[in-house]
């Protein structure tokens, strides 16, 4: 997809503060530091749109980015970061849970994992939770540039196996560094955004 316009719209810590224009939303979930914000920058071709950091815990709110006036990419706080206080983790968890279960314009959740390593316990719990609630999901295995191309298939197989993925669910290999997977991911996002209905929960 050609991104003509990508703009930051708002940060929210409460569902009542989210946009009410009804545009379809694609959310990014994943471990802290896995590369969610970097992925948004690569997808939009705007290097500094979403703030990234080598220190985990950078993104602490739901951050909305409007793309071509027709959909939102929603950057979310990462999970599994031990240094965030228990209280903060609980709050983020609750916010994410309500967002994913109640947000009627949410059309797809991208579950971002690190292709270098088998998914963590938290990744598995997240996938299982999405599958259990029948929330449309797409696993994106990022940092592909850190693994030799010949080893991609075995790493993707390890992701599938560890997450115990359903046969119909796909994994897309991605790299924010090189752009691997960008076209394929946009295609999927475009399809999800066009899905008729007001999202997952209608
Ligand atoms: P939180 O906001 O803390 O949850 O992290 P995040 O998931 O948004 O991660 P972020 O995009 O900030 O990236 C974390 C670190 O990983 C940064 O140092 C990025 O430069 C690096 N990174 C992200 N994606 C890639 C990738 O595809 N390849 C490589 N080599 N590094 C990446
Ligand atoms: Mg981030």
Q: How far is the CA of 38 from the centre of ligand 1 (A)?
A: 5
For residue 94, which phi and psi values (nearest 5 degrees)?
-65, -45
Q: How far is the CA of 115 from the centre of ligand 1 (A)?
A: 13
9 sits in which H/E element: strand 6-12
CA distances from 62 to 2, 118, 167 (A): 24, 26, 30
Residue identified by tokens 């998914």 is 119
Atom of ligand 1 nearest to the CA of 175: 27
Q: How far is the CA of 77 from the centre of ligand 1 (A)?
A: 13
pLDDT by residue, tens only, the chain of 202 residues: 889 999 999 999 999 999 999 999 999 999 999 999 999 999 999 999 999 888 877 778 899 999 999 999 999 988 887 677 888 888 888 899 999 999 999 999 999 999 999 999 999 999 999 999 999 999 999 999 999 999 999 999 999 999 999 999 999 999 999 999 999 999 999 999 998 654 566 5
- CATH class of the 6-199 domain in this structure: alpha beta
Residue 160 Cβ < 6 Å to ligand 1: no
CA distances from 106 to 71, 100, 140, 189 (A): 10, 7, 17, 12
Task: Return d(Cα 50, Cα 43) in angstroms, integer.
Answer: 11
CA distances from 160 to 9, 55, 175, 195 (A): 34, 27, 18, 25
Q: Residue ranges of the domains in the chain?
A: 6-199
């Amino acid at each position: 997809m050609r991104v003509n316009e990508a703009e930051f719209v708002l940060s929210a810590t409460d569902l009542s503060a989210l946009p009410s224009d009804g545009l379809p939303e694609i959310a990014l979930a994943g471990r802290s530091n896995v590369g969610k914000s970097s992925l948004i920058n690569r997808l939009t071709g705007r290097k500094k749109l979403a703030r990234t950091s080598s220190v985990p815990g950078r993104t602490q709110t739901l951050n909305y980015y409007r793309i071509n006036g027709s959909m939102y990419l929603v950057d979310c706080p990462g999970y599994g970061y031990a240094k965030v206080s228990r209280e903060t983790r609980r709050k983020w968890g609750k916010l994410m849970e309500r967002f994913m279960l109640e947000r009627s314009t949410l059309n797809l959740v991208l579950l971002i994992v690190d292709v270098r390593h088998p998914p963590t316990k938290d990744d598995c719990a997240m996938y299982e939770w999405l599958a259990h609630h029948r929330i449309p999901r797409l696993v994106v295995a990022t940092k592909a540039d850190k693994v030799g191309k010949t080893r991609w298939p075995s790493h993707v197989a390890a992701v599938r196996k560890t997450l115990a993925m359903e046969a119909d669910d796909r994994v897309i290999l991605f790299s924010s560094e090189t752009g691997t997977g960008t076209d394929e991911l946009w295609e999927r996002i475009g399809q999800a955004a066009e899905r008729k209905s007001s999202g997952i929960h209608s």
